Structure 1
Amino acid sequence: MCECKALPIRFDYTPKGKVEALGGDLEGYVVAGTKPAAIIMLYDIFGYTEYPQIKQVCDHLSAATGFTVAIPDVFRGKPWSMAKSPAKPEDNLIGWIQSVGSYAKVSSDLKLTVDFLRARGAERFGIAGTCWGASIALTACSQPDGVFEACAGLHPSLFGKDKEFAEALLRPVALVSARGDPLETVQEVVNGKPDLAPKCIWKRMDDVEHGFCAARGDYKNEVVTQRVAEAVQLLAGFFTSNVA
């Protein structure tokens, strides 16, 4: 059962966790829980240094589940610049993602983070991501030998490969999509998997824009903060049911 103790989302918020060394040259934001379970959260392409909204999401997710939540800084402090958003063709955003944010590149950081969390007492794991990070989370739950028991995507970016991501899934998924974000194709495919479908969550929030939980989230906007709080509670219940 979800403890549902998350606090209201605020603009004037001080993160409760801290940045720690996760292994090798990898650092990450960690908020400690009380239960032997953990969630790894992948931020969006803008990271968490200049845009700390995702830290608040993780704090509340930890409070609501009792899980430890960690955000590995997979971009090593060098995320995509907001000044180059929306990206122009000459910026080559996809090429940048393929070079520093492909699953092949990030998977070693996921292992480091899992090992770190195991040393802190975690025995079971979920994974979530915002925007680009959602594609990593879904891929992690498509690995036959994977350690993650469930995955989630907040305003996911699946790069036009919604069906491919859905067909490969081996673990339950929760998607919380903003206006225009992927959801229906993934839901349709997963609904054809009777072992997964009853465990999944699907929610579209058409009154907020892509990125509302993370770097693009305007936490001064009451509608946005209400939707972020709702998304946290949905994920808290989902991970409690599928990971705890």
Structure 2
Amino acid sequence: MSFPAACCNTPPVKADYTPSGTKGKIGDLDCYFAGPSDSKRAIMINYDIFGYHANVLQLSDILGSLGYRVALPDLLRGDPLEEADLGKPGVFDTFTKTRGSWETNKGDYIAIRDYLKSSGAESVGLIGFCWGGHIVVSALTELEGYAGGAIVHPALIADGDLSKVNAPLLALPSKDEPDFTQDFAGLEGKPFFDKCKMVRFDDMFHGFCGARGDWSNEVQAKRANDAIALVVNFMSSIM
């Protein structure tokens, strides 16, 4: 289980976007909210290793404009990885064993799920980018109460991880991620498999939909929009 080489060595692009959502808290956890607060359908987004990048804020607002109650928690609590960390020995190993581990984030996933449901959401979906894809897969494997999840250019996915999830899954790997075909096929016997889907973006790189995507580039923007459309269709099918 490891980060793609592109994840460890490619810096995030700078994007120009003014968020339209609101800031708040879930317990002691800072959170960015978008969409109607009384929506029956909620989505929690797990950003990538660079935290609150403009692209993930823009995605939150897009989903919010479609009627979803979107929660983008600051799971790294103001301590994301930075460009200066790229290539440093031991940085990613330490990250995955500490603040980036599932054990560290499990309690927040429970608290966020319970908060959204107590606020009126009847169903809650998950979206995870890069490292967040690993955390979303872990949540769908161990926790109840999530309707399903989408993982976009996911990192840290070990052999057999995808086939263990217990809710519908959308997987959108880029050219930099491994071939998940065999692992994904392990979901075929599960009752929700008709809602599962995997689409490879072999013309795109790790991070094109997250902090490394240059959405001023026409080709990258189009492919990001293609990925977002798949996520929206998936969320509509499970909630």
- Specify the TM-score bucket, using the shorter chain as the normaliser: 0.7 to 0.9
Aligned to 2:131: 132
Question: Partner letter of residue 156 of structure 1?
Answer: P
**SS of equivalent to 1:38:** strand
Aligned positions of 1:9-28 closer than 5 A: 12-24=16-28, 26-28=29-31
Aligned to 1:230: 226
| Residue of 60, 63, 70 corresponding to 1:61 | 63
| Residue of 22, 29, 33 corresponding to 1:30 | 33
TM-score (structure 1 length as normaliser)? 0.85
Aligned to 2:4: none
Deviations 1:18-40 (A, max 9, x none): 2211112x101110236312111
Aligned positions of 1:1-244 closer than 5 A: 12-24=16-28, 26-33=29-36, 35-48=39-52, 51-64=53-66, 66-85=67-86, 87-88=87-88, 90-143=89-142, 145-159=143-157, 161=158, 163-182=159-178, 183-191=180-188, 193-242=189-238, 244=239
Deviations 1:65-88 (A, max 9, x none): x21111110111111112222x33
State whether residues 113 and 146 of structure 2, in contact with CA within 8 Å, keep that contact through their aligned partners in structure 1.
Answer: no
Q: Flag the structure with higher strand content.
A: 1
Aligned to 1:8: none
Question: Partner letter of residue 42 of structure 2?
Answer: A
**SS of equivalent to 2:98:** helix
Question: Partner letter of residue 150 of structure 2?
Answer: A
Question: Partner letter of residue 113 of structure 2?
Answer: V
Deviations 1:137-157 (A, max 9, x none): 1111112x5110101101111
TM-score (structure 2 length as normaliser)? 0.87
Question: Partner letter of residue 196 of structure 1?
Answer: F
State whether residues 31 and 59 of structure 1, in contact with CA within 8 Å, keep that contact through their aligned partners in structure 2.
Answer: yes
- Using the alignment, how far apart are the partners of 1:156 and 1:106 within structure 2? 17
Question: Partner letter of residue 155 of structure 1?
Answer: H
Question: Partner letter of residue 19 of structure 1?
Answer: K
State whether residues 17 and 55 of structure 2, in contact with CA within 8 Å, keep that contact through their aligned partners in structure 1.
Answer: no
| C-alpha distance 221-107 of structure 1, shift in aligned 2 (>3 A) | same
- Using the alignment, how far apart are the partners of 1:106 and 1:116 within structure 2? 15
CA-atom RMSD in angstroms: 1.7
State whether residues 84 and 91 of structure 1, in contact with CA within 8 Å, keep that contact through their aligned partners in structure 2.
Answer: no
**SS of equivalent to 1:100:** coil
Q: Quick one: percent identity of the two aligned structures?
A: 32
**SS of equivalent to 1:157:** coil
- Using the alignment, how far apart are the partners of 1:27 and 1:92 within structure 2? 24
**SS of equivalent to 2:51:** coil
4+ residue stretches of structure 1 with deviation over 3 A? none
- Using the alignment, how far apart are the partners of 2:182 and 2:63 within structure 1? 27
- Using the alignment, how far apart are the partners of 1:77 and 1:173 within structure 2? 29
How many residue pairs match? The answer is 223
Deviations 1:56-112 (A, max 9, x none): 112212333x21111110111111112222x33x23312222100111110111122
- Using the alignment, how far apart are the partners of 2:156 and 2:121 within structure 1? 29
- Using the alignment, how far apart are the partners of 1:37 and 1:91 within structure 2? 40
Where structure 2 has 5 or more consecutive residues not aligned to the other structure, the ranges are: 1-14
- Using the alignment, how far apart are the partners of 1:19 and 1:135 within structure 2? 25
- Using the alignment, how far apart are the partners of 1:139 and 1:226 within structure 2? 30
Where structure 1 has 5 or more consecutive residues not aligned to the other structure, the ranges are: 1-10
- The alpha-carbon deviation at position 12 of structure 1 amounts to 4.3
State whether residues 21 and 28 of structure 1, in contact with CA within 8 Å, keep that contact through their aligned partners in structure 2.
Answer: yes
